[in-house]
Amino acid sequence: MLRRALSSILIPLCACARQEPTPTAQPAPPAAPLVASPPAAPTSIELPTAPQMAVATAPAPESVVPATKPAVELRNIGMHIGGGPNDDATKAPFQKAIAAQFDALAACWATLPTKSAFDFGVDLLVPAAGGQAKVDRPRSAVKDAAFVKCATAAFAAATFAPSAKGLPTKVSTSVHFTPK
């Protein structure tokens, strides 16, 4: 049976190898000499103006947020700063950066089929120079993969101030979602 299968594959391949080579293309006959003719009447070509031209651009981050805000209230409910201190003054800049992402987080919540109250938390590793953190360990009772991906991306988009200590900072934080 194996021999029959191999022969059904190899015979057509051998047949292809035996085909005659394709003849090469013959040179084209010489072109007729060009004769100058009187200039034709001018033609107009209408080029699109700037507003008519389509320009491909990346969507603005705000385009992720729906036109109407989802009916949900968000608030920071817990935060631990690795290496401390864990006082309000130290937490404030981190909470402010996360609160700036509340519209994006609300848009993630709006995609859920069931609108309920829940918490969503992540660990953030904020670079010493500030900027965007590496997001790790998303956690929530909501297991909707699209929501988790969206919310994790919202946290990753937060921009943090440089570290006062000049060191990377590990922040564990949670946000509470409450339907209005």
Average pLDDT per run of 10 along the chain, which is 180 residues long?
42 43 48 45 40 34 58 94 93 96 96 94 97 97 96 97 93 96
**pLDDT recorded at residue 95:** 96
CA 81 → CA 21, 34, 86, 149, 169, distances in Å? Answer: 74, 82, 6, 23, 7
Helix runs in the chain, H state only: 2-17, 88-99, 102-110, 145-157
**pLDDT recorded at residue 69:** 81
Give residue 170's region: left, alpha or beta (phi > 0; psi -120 to 50).
beta
This prediction has a pTM of 0.62
- d(CA 50, CA 162) in angstroms, rounded, equals 41
**pLDDT recorded at residue 68:** 75
Domain coordinates in residue numbering, the chain: 69-179
Tell me the chain's radius of gyration from C-alpha atoms.
32
Q: Is the dihedral of CA 51, 57, 61, 63 positive or negative?
A: positive
Asked if residue 177 lies in contact with residue 120, where contact means CB atoms within 8 angstroms, the answer is yes
CA 151 → CA 89, 171, 174, distances in Å? Answer: 26, 16, 11
**pLDDT recorded at residue 57:** 30
- d(CA 79, CA 70) in angstroms, rounded, equals 25
Dig out the tokens for 72 from the structure: 């949900």
